[in-house]
Structure 1
């Protein structure tokens, strides 16, 4: 039985690999070879990767592709997308090409406010706490001035601090709810630094406040942390065209196609089981761009899904309607993104991806990412209501199946041609490959 290890983080990378492969893999030599295969051959680049996280032993590469022909607010983009799932980039590219001839995508920022909170316990008179906060607020701003100076030069900073009484939900629980503008930075470190200073000032000033009793002076700071729920840091993206342009299927008229798309959206608005998969498809596009631009896709995911249930039921992020013969399709969602700081300044490929996107501001990147999500959803829903999702997806997945089955290049070429006119299933590919080999 393998024993726990002490001081693992102090080992060299090679020593970590030796320990892991010796204790947790069946063939240590083969496992080490696989891990080393994925090291970057440029030592300086690999060192950079090693220092991004702790206990690095290798790199797990995710394919990056380009979805071209995205016309957004009259500017043409080729969008880098990093994702492992088949058909995502093909679907986004197909949607981009369709809307390119119809005026492209329109996008606008609805808000850029970010949020952080100091959570604390106060066992005392809430009225006295409110009076104390009136005195405290300017002190909070003054004592965080050194932290906000650089951000304020760029037009950002703290926009407000309010005291929230949450004692109806949890005994003695209050919070300082602060809002921020962080411009082109995602701002997590800036916000958290401000919040920790707020907490220090709150605790210190409480001990000095004459109106508080001894118990009231003993404010307990629970934690100080930004929120990834940013319902006022939002973006809207939309497309529209005459209904007759929706000639997407030989079996359906454009009017029928438009109506089925709208019905599919309405189902996702009222049926959570469908809404989760519907929104997951949107996030295929969003996460791929967020990852390629060095942003935090986990934070984006958490915030977006919270936003999807802001009205008490998990629901679709996209909407559609027909108005005066015009089909309209749009999305509104929160996106806290940055184009300076973090990996955007460190990762060479991230820097190149931002260059390919014409060095966008954070607000421009919000619009690009929202458009990628909308395009992905249009491609998915229009396929679902016409040909079905599997036809296109499985054709894209064919190469993965052939690689799993060990097909050589000649077999791949033969079967790719065969499955141009035949449905793709894993079992069907196995049968045809076996037939060729016989």
Structure 2
């Protein structure tokens, strides 16, 4: 079927958008309209609020919102909100939390909170001449030009930390950067940083035009390419860790504490040297982090991009977590680069985001960094614990059991039957369907 493009789609009402989609792409099937309407909120004001979060909204897309209790973080007992659709993520985090609750809990350290942004520009000028101009004229002017923008942030203890000129001409002809570092306190700070950077670009061009340091040809050559924050924040780092005596690990899988510690450390080391394993390893870390990021209204795409870039910072993709078993002590930790906020964005708008932050005790941005690092470390501990003992599928497929049963409209009685049936068996899709057919044919 050849579909026709549409002009002015964004200007249509919600109902007209839906009508066009159903007629153009779904052969006029009104059943799909019912599906969309099923997920509208009964409260029209709340529905309107959701629709204004994004463009061209026609319905809501729901995800399970779960709670992982028993997290002891820096001496404080917490329940973590997790918005995630993947089976076993919340259960695994909860299991890790309970395991470490009895062994002193999770400890965190904020290593740094510096965020970055750049003005990227092309300038046909000798580097030493530009550097002299930057050091003795431009840098001061950049701070002065952004005083109005940074005033409120400076009152809260943040602002622009430093500005540097970066020479990248060896990689691209005539390419330079103004690299700025920021402290955005409790906000993620994207709008603040980008506003500062856009002013940098204007001030840079104006100051070059007025300077006697450059020829007319040089002045005419400057081009501001873009002004944009970086989602790679290698100096906005939190560490989360757990430790205990190897004798206190007491894993219930039937292997000795020493064998468990040895296998666990080998699994982490393999992820540190083997990118194929590291990718899946870090995906598991991000299962825990993203679920809390989404529940608190933050940008999970930014946290993903930053974490994976950091995992590659040494030129090879590696594990985000690390483990030692020295002198009879098991130690497991993560150094996580992450930029999040607890003010701005959806934090004062989305009802469940407000609930999540209240549940966490209305944390500061630094406290939320710690919580996220702990969530990722706990998730990774649970995954590795399963991998080196019973295998990943036993627990994962038990959580997946209800997804399979729901596909076939299982009743509550049938679900309970299968919970008992698979108590001592590994769940498989084939086995579920085969046994369900037998049960229904009786």
- State the TM-score bracket (shorter-chain normalisation): over 0.9
Distance of 1:107 and 1:128 partners within structure 2? 45
Report matched runs for 1:302-341 at 5 Å.
302-341=305-344
- The 2-side partners of 1:336 and 1:250 are apart by 37
**Aligned match for 1:358, one of 353, 356, 361:** 361
**Aligned residue in 1 for 2:154:** 152
CA displacement 1:341-395 (0-9 Å, x = unmatched):
1111111110111000000000000000000000000000010000000000000
In the TM superposition, what whole-angstrom CA distance separates every residue of 1:58-100 from its partner, at most 9, and x where no partner exists? 1100110000000000001000000000000000000000000
Alpha carbons 1:249, 1:386 under 8 Å: kept? no
Measured in 2, the distance between the counterparts of 1:328 and 1:33 equals: 53
- The DSSP-based 3-state class of the residue aligned with 1:247 is coil
**CA distance in 2: counterparts of 1:358 and 1:194, whole angstroms:** 31
The size of the alignment, in residue pairs, is 438
CA–CA distance in 2 between the matches of 1:149 and 1:366?
A: 25
1:217-256 pair list within 5 angstroms: 217-218=219-220, 219-256=222-259
Distance of 1:181 and 1:47 partners within structure 2: 34
- Matches of 1:196 and 1:67, distance apart in 2: 42
Structure 1 partner of 2:63: 62
User: 1 CA distance for matches of 2:347 and 2:256?
Assistant: 46
Unaligned 5+ runs, structure 2: none
The answer on 1:258 being equivalent to 2:261 is yes
Alpha-carbon RMSD across the aligned residues, in angstroms, is: 0.8
Matches within 5 A, 1:288-437: 288-437=291-440
- Distance across 1 between alignment mates of 2:417 and 2:79: 32
Using the TM superposition, name which of 307-316 and 18-27 deviates more. Answer: 18-27
Report the TM-score when normalising by structure 2. Answer: 0.98
Separation (CA, whole Å) in 2 of partners of 1:28 and 1:201:
56
Give, in whole Å, the separation in 1 of the partners of 2:172 and 2:145: 29
How far apart, in 2, do the equivalents of 1:204 and 1:274 lie? 51
Q: CA deviation at 1:322?
A: 1.1
SS in structure 2 at match of 1:52: coil
Q: Is the 8 A contact 2:110 2:237 kept in 1?
A: yes
The answer for the alignment partner of 1:76 in structure 2 is 77
Aligned to 2:181: 179
Displacement of 1:26: 4.2
- Aligned partners of 1:342, 1:258: CA distance in 2, in Å? 43
1:423 CA drift (Å): 1.4
TM-score relative to the length of structure 1: 0.99
Runs of 4+ in 1 over 6 A off after TM superposition: none
1:101-250 maps to which residues of 2 (within 5 A)?
Answer: 101-134=102-135, 135-218=137-220, 219-250=222-253
Contact 2:340 / 2:365 at 8 angstroms: preserved in 1?
yes
Cα contact 1:140–1:201 (8 A) shared by 2: yes
Q: Per-residue deviation at 1:310? A: 0.5
Tell whether 2:12 aligns with 1:8: no
Q: Deviation per CA, 1:118-137: give whole Å up to 9, x if none.
A: 00000122221112112111
Deviation at 1:146, TM superposition (A): 0.2
- Give the deviation of 1:27 after TM superposition: 5.0
